[in-house]
């Protein structure tokens, strides 16, 4: 029996599933995830060089963590980093109903000149991160935009929650390549937004011992623990918070690579173009080939 089969049989969480956690006495909530086969499936759509694989892996972990904050499965979280004229000019991922997808557009020649481990500034220059929540039930859309600053995408996401949501947030992300594939994992912990109910937000006070306590514990996580396949996510939570009076955990639906490219979708998009433009797009067979950036599938559209 494989380790993953054992974890599933024993009821513990291994790969490709978000585990939610809450610490009621500390007014804290969190998410932890470890991506494995799903990550490899997304990365396999393109022949990404190592720095781009690392970048996209981190982005997918962050997308899974933040997307799982949405209560309605039909709602969507879109994570988009963009920079004009940069080595990486577009990174986009989204999460809806347990489905993850992601894509990076980059200049391969310029990337090669940056060396083995380029930082965020080298890849994006002066860019920005947009995080968008599309709520299915109400039809509302919320978007926050922050500069792509700091050492990592995780740091930029912490900045987003601080500036746009005013919620203190700690995020840790780790990645590892092994003989069996790529592993990427992350932990997100934050204070409950109590102010939404008309009460004072705990984090607006100068002294916030409850959050400081949780942040110290969560911040002690080691990156090698996050990506260790022999540790279930429950075991990691136990290591961090076993001295707390109560910690509640719940497994969410399994994650999978989801791409929504369909003939019907692209027909709808192409229907907005003038007839003369459509005629220029047609190949000798009379159809219009459309390649999906997310999964590299080419669809022949008859319009």
More confident residue, 203 or 41: 41
Residue holding tokens 């002294």? 207
Give the pLDDT score at 207: 60
Q: Average pLDDT over the chain, rounded to whole? A: 88
More confident residue, 43 or 291: 43
Strands 128-134 and 141-147 come out as: antiparallel
- State whether residue 185 is helix, strand or coil: strand
Give the pLDDT score at 64: 97
The domain made up of 3-257 has a fold known as: Hsp33 domain (3.55.30)
* Structure confidence by residue, pLDDT tens digits, 222-271: 999 999 999 999 999 999 999 999 999 999 889 999 887 778 878 888 88
Is pLDDT of 10 > 80? no
Is the full-model pTM beyond 0.85? yes
* Structure confidence by residue, pLDDT tens digits, 26-54: 999 999 999 999 999 999 999 999 999 99
More confident residue, 221 or 298: 221
More confident residue, 189 or 209: 189
More confident residue, 77 or 204: 77
126 — phi, psi (to 5°)? -95, 95
Sketch the domain layout of the chain as residue ranges.
3-257, 263-301
| Gap between the Cα atoms of 248 and 37, Å rounded | 27
Give the pLDDT score at 291: 82
């Amino acid at each position: 029996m494989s380790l993953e089969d054992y974890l599933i049989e024993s009821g513990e969480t291994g790969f490709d599933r978000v585990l939610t956690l809450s610490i009621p006495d500390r007014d804290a909530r969190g998410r932890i995830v470890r991506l494995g086969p799903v990550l490899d499936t997304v990365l396999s759509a393109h022949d990404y060089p190592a720095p781009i694989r690392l970048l996209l892996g981190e982005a997918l972990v962050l997308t899974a963590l933040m997307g799982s904050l949405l209560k309605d499965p039909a709602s969507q979280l879109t994570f988009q980093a963009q920079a004009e004229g940069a080595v990486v000019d577009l990174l986009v991922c989204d999460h809806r109903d347990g489905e993850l997808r992601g894509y990076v557009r980059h200049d391969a020649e310029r990337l090669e000149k940056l060396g083995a481990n380029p930082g965020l500034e080298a890849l994006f220059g002066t860019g920005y991160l947009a995080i968008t929540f599309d709520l299915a039930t109400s039809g509302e859309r919320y978007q926050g935009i922050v500069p792509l600053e700091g050492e990592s995408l995780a740091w930029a996401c912490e900045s987003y929650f601080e500036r746009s949501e005013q919620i203190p947030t700690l995020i840790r992300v780790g990645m590892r390549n092994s003989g069996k594939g790529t592993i990427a994992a992350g932990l997100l912990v934050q204070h409950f937004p109590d102010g939404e109910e008309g009460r004072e937000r705990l984090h607006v006070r100068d002294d916030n011992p409850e959050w400081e306590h949780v942040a110290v514990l969560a911040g002690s996580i080691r990156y090698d623990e996050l990506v260790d396949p022999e540790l279930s996510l429950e075991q990691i939570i136990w290591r961090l918070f076993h001295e707390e009076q109560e910690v509640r955990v719940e497994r969410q639906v399994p994650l999978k690579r989801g791409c929504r490219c369909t003939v019907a979708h692209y027909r709808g998009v192409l229907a907005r173009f003038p007839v003369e433009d459509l005629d220029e797009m047609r190949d000798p067979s009379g159809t219009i080939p459309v390649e999906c950036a997310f999964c590299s599938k080419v669809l022949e559209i008859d319009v």
